[in-house]
Amino acid sequence: MKPRHFITLEDLSSPEIRALIKRAGELKALDSIYEPLKNRVLGMIFEKSSTRTRVSFESGMMQLGGGAIFLSPRDTQLGRGEPLEDSARVLSRMVDGIMLRANCHRTVEIFAEYSRVPIINGLTDRFHPCQLLADLQTYFEHRGDIQGKRVAWIGDGNNMCQTYIHAAALLDFELVIACPSGYDPEAELIERYQAHVQLVREPQSAARNADLIVTDVWASMGQESEQNERKLAFKGYAVNQALMSLAASDALFMHCLPAHREEEVATEVLEGKQSVVWDEAENRLHAQKALLELLIAHA
């Protein structure tokens, strides 16, 4: 039987996402030993550096009774040109699940095609579904169901933004994306999900009456050489208190971190009362534990 993978948020149905968020909350509140993954092993392949993804998956596996193995292309045959298909075949005969943080989305898809065990997308250039599980859990914790709410994405139309597009369709909320021209999400995604997604140029238009404002760095990993160019392009797209004041009075602010203070977000917003970024970061652990339980323990 083919294993169940988590490559994009769309690999879960709307009821499954809500159930997973509920389960993540239960695991967060658990104060007793719970080891459904005892003797199970997660292989973790990192083509990019990581803090939250590595620590949350590694801690999550330990707390669920299992273990995790860190693998980088530099230390494995992947770095010497072994075909992805062969690596997927070999590794999936030795571990119970594989998480990849990859440069290219196609890498994760190829692993999924040839793996005997569940593949989890820990981030690619197109999507970051594990982060969205944590974001959604955090919103549900503070404000209840996100259905019918208005979410403003301010900044780059990157992998986080594109995963928010999936989330808007799956959980039925309005997503207004404010990007400078030339930094839009994929046009095909905007077209396909136009019932839930709107693209604007003015951050103020997106933020007005929003229930949640979200942003990310202007230059993601691998785009460091574009830093100065992007600073010019994104001038005016910083989330500051003036922008937050346009949102609903009980609006939340999220950022997947790391954050560049006084660049894409003002310190007064990041550290302010509306910010839930530290809960959001912690929930990477709990949401992923619920995901690991679903994909591996219940397989």
31 catalytic per annotation = no
* Catalytic entry in 255, 284, 286, 288: 284
Q: From the annotation, which residues make up the binding site?
A: 50-53, 77, 101, 128-131, 159, 216, 220-221, 256-257, 284
Q: Which numeric CATH code is attached to 5-128+283-297?
A: 3.40.50.1370
156 catalytic per annotation = no
Average pLDDT over residues 202-224: 93
Q: Where are the domains of the chain?
A: 5-128+283-297, 131-280
Handedness of CA 243, 244, 248, 252 (dihedral sign): positive
Confidence of residue 242 (pLDDT cuts 50, 70, 90): very high
The fold of the 131-280 domain, in CATH, is: Rossmann fold (3.40.50)
128 catalytic per annotation = yes
DSSP string, the chain: -PPP-BSSGGGS-HHHHHHHHHHHHHHHH--S---TTTT-EEEEEESS--SHHHHHHHHHHHHTT-EEEEE-GGGSGGGGT--HHHHHHHHTTT-SEEEEE-SSHHHHHHHHHH-SS-EEEEE-SS--HHHHHHHHHHHHHHHS--TT-EEEEES---HHHHHHHHHHHHHT-EEEEE--TT-PPPHHHHHHTTTTEEEES-HHHHHTT-SEEEE--SS-TT-GGGHHHHHHHTTT--B-HHHHTTS-TT-EEEE-S---BTTTB-HHHHTSTTB-HHHHHHHHHHHHHHHHIIIIIT-
Domains 5-128+283-297 and 131-280 in one fold: yes
pLDDT tens, 114-148? 999 999 999 999 999 999 999 999 999 999 999 99
Average pLDDT over residues 19-45: 97
pLDDT of residue 186: 98
192 catalytic per annotation = no
Higher pLDDT pick, 49 / 16: 16
pTM recorded for the entire structure: 0.96
pLDDT tens, 91-105? 999 999 999 999 999
- Give which of 71, 84, 159 is closest to 123, Cα–Cα: 159
